Structure formats: C-alpha cells, structure tokens
Amino acid sequence: MLTRLMLFGSSLALAGCLFAQVNAQAPGSPDWSEPFPAHRMIGNIYYVGSRGLASYLITTPNAGHILINSNLKTSVPMIRQNIEKLGFHFNDIRILLISHAHFDHDAGSAEVKKLTGNGAVYMVMEGDVDVVESGGRSDFQYGDDATLLYPAVKVNEVLHDGNEVRLGDTVLTAHKTAGHTRGCTTWTLKVTDAGKTYDVVIVGSPNVNPGYKLVNNARYPEIADDYARGFRVLQSLPCDVFLGAHGGYYGMEAKYAKLNGGGANPYIDPKGYKDYVADREQAFLTELQKQKEAAKKQ
C-alpha cells in the first residue's frame, strides 16, 4: 500500500493527473484533498486549491472574480474557505473556468454554480463541453468508470481556440491544447506586479495518462495529432510565470516556500516552463514511438 501510494505520489508529481488504473476504490492521490495555504502568487492571481490540485482565483477590483478549476466534488468548501481567508467573497465569482474535463478539475463545478446562486457563468472549451454536460460519461478514456463520474452541469458558454474571457480589466485567452482531453485548455493572461507586466501561462495538461491509446484509438482517432499540435501551441506561448492544473507541474510547494523567504518571485520561471514543455513532449514522443512499434508487431 505504502509503495503503491509513494509510486503514485512520485508519478503524480512528474506527470500529474494519473488516476484510474492506480486505485479504483478511491481514485486520486491523498494530497488532492490536503489543505494548502491560500496565497497571492503574483499580480491578481491567488492560489486557492489543495496541496495536489491547483485552483486559481483571478480577482478584479469591481467586477467580481474568475475561478479556474472547481476540483473534486468535496473540494469546494476548502476552495471557499481559502477565498474567504484571503478576504474575498465566494459569491463574487462571476466566471468559472477549468483546465480540462477530468473529475479532479471539474467535479466541483455543480457545487460552485449552486453556491454562487448560478451567478458564476461556466465557460468550457469545445471538445470538453459534452464531457462536462454528461458528468464525465462521454469521456473517451474514463467514461465507463463509474467511480470517476460526477454531477453533470450545463455549460453556459462554449469556448473556441483563441477566445478571450474578459472581466473588468482582466483578459484571459483560452488556448486549445487537446490530447489529454478533447478540450484541454491552457490559459494565458498578463499580470502587473510591482510596476512590471508578466506573461502568465496556466498549463492545461500535456500528459499522456496510463492506458491512453495514442495509436488506433477508435474513440479519439486524432489524439496523437492533437497532442502534437498542443506542444506547438505551448512552445509558442510567451511565458514568464509558469502555472498549471497541478502544482506538481511547476514545483508549486518549493516555490511557495521560497515566496515566503522574500527575494524574487519564484513563480517567475520562464526556463522552468520551457524545460517542462520539452520534457513532456519527449515523454509523449517516447510513448507514441513505443505504441507505434507495438502496433506494427500485431
């Protein structure tokens, strides 16, 4: 059990978002439900997630706030507490966004909608909309696994690649980086901090989960092409501040410790972003090659 958990923890940090095959009883990693200090990361971006599942509050002075990722069904009270600890109001969430339609990032969306009295407009990238609206049932990989389903929610606005989401002075751009899911979304925005402007990238997920078929995938024939295109997109994005759907992508815990130590803001990490994208692309290409060779032998 311990070995299994440790293995899971380390692979999670590396690849993020690995679940179904590891523990069908209680999918996910224990740190997904572990509290983590809510904090201002940079500019108007606040971390309001758990230790293992990132959730971001992007605030505006007068127009309300944007929440990225509702996480697990059970995560919402913790996200709410985190928002309130920071002095903001959960009811001021005007827009709800996600990294991608997997239960560790979107299962809490029904609860967020309910608690904001339907005040939060739920915007989801094309490709992930039917998954969200079917509570995970139409997911190409996990739709048949009852342990991974969650409350279905109606999407209020369908996003397309390159769409902008505006609230007050804040403008987020939705980049479709599909493969991990059909509507996997990488968010970008500019923030100002101490008089300087920075490009922020919130990576949706470039990871190939265990069991994903990249070759001859009848339920998602274009999966490998989507991943390849997604890497081109990630490589093209200017990035000063590197964030993602799981803190493990960008070493959130270590960076948070440094943030508290003063000095330069550790979330500003353009090299970390480049290295991460290169590493994940290599992992994708290696897996693709392996699956192509296995398919040839059949």
Token output for 210: 């265990």
Token output for 293: 């060779």
Q: Which stretch binds Zn ion (CB under 5 A): 11-19, 60-68, 133-141, 210-218?
A: 11-19
What is the smallest separation between the CB atom of 119 and Zn ion, expressed in angstroms? 27
Q: Which one, 102 or 175, has the nearer CB to Zn ion?
A: 102
What is the smallest separation between the CB atom of 204 and Zn ion, expressed in angstroms? 9
Our finding on whether 15 is near Zn ion (CB under 5 A) is no
Calculate the dihedral angle through the C-alpha atoms of 119, 45, 133, 178, rounding to the nearest 10 degrees.
Answer: 150
What is the smallest separation between the CB atom of 168 and Zn ion, expressed in angstroms? 30
Q: Do the Cβ atoms of 184 and 17 come closer than 8 Å?
A: no
Q: Do the Cβ atoms of 184 and 194 come closer than 8 Å?
A: no
Length of the chain: 298
Our finding on whether 280 is near Zn ion (CB under 5 A) is no
Backbone φ and ψ for 123, nearest 5 degrees, come out as -115, 125
Quickly count: other Cβ atoms within 10 Å of residue 40's Cβ.
Answer: 14
Query: Which amino acid is present at 14?
Result: L
Our finding on whether 182 is near Zn ion (CB under 5 A) is no
Q: Which one, 17 or 38, has the nearer CB to Zn ion?
A: 17
What is the smallest separation between the CB atom of 194 and Zn ion, expressed in angstroms? 34
Side-chain-facing half-sphere of 246: CA atoms under 13 Å: 25
What is the smallest separation between the CB atom of 24 and Zn ion, expressed in angstroms? 16
Please choose, from the candidates 279, 163, 181, the residue with its C-alpha nearest in 3D space to the C-alpha of residue 222.
181
Backbone φ and ψ for 18, nearest 5 degrees, come out as -110, 130
Q: Which stretch binds Zn ion (CB under 5 A): 13-21, 164-172, 194-202, 287-295?
A: 13-21
Q: Which one, 65 or 102, has the nearer CB to Zn ion?
A: 102
Our finding on whether 17 is near Zn ion (CB under 5 A) is yes
Q: Which stretch binds Zn ion (CB under 5 A): 7-15, 17-25, 50-58, 265-273?
A: 17-25
Our finding on whether 102 is near Zn ion (CB under 5 A) is yes
Q: Which stretch binds Zn ion (CB under 5 A): 14-22, 35-43, 136-144, 263-271?
A: 14-22
Interaction site with Zn ion (CB under 5 A):
17, 102
